[in-house]
Amino acid sequence: MSDFYLVWNPDGTNPRFRHSTRTGALTEAQRLAAAQPGRDFYVLHAVSVSRVKDPVETVSLTDDGLPF
């Protein structure tokens, strides 16, 4: 996954469009700000991602009830 930019307004909905360039995100923020005077539009740059891997499941292959 490559890095990307989002345009966010604290009073709006969650951003859904990922801009691949800073210039594209800045242009969109400026367009939105012009269309909605008095509102702030932030350009956010994603710098990392965190993910939890699927948990490991242990399945007993015997019916003795012992975990080992």
> What percent of the residues of the chain are helix, what percent strand, and what percent coil, each to the nearest 5?
20, 15, 65
Q: CA 9 from chain center: how many Å?
A: 15
What's the predicted TM-score (pTM) here? 0.71
- In this structure, are residues 6 and 44 in contact, taking their beta carbons and an 8 Å threshold? yes
Does residue 41 have a pLDDT over 90? yes
Mean pLDDT computed over 6-13: 95
Return all residues near 39 (Cβ < 8 A) that are at least 6 apart. Answer: 9, 11, 12, 32, 33
Mean pLDDT computed over 46-52: 83
Q: How confident is the model at residue 59 (pLDDT cuts 50, 70, 90)?
A: low
Q: Which pLDDT score is estimated for 60?
A: 61
Name the DSSP letter for residue 63: S
Give strand ranges (E) for 1-68. Answer: 5-8, 42-45
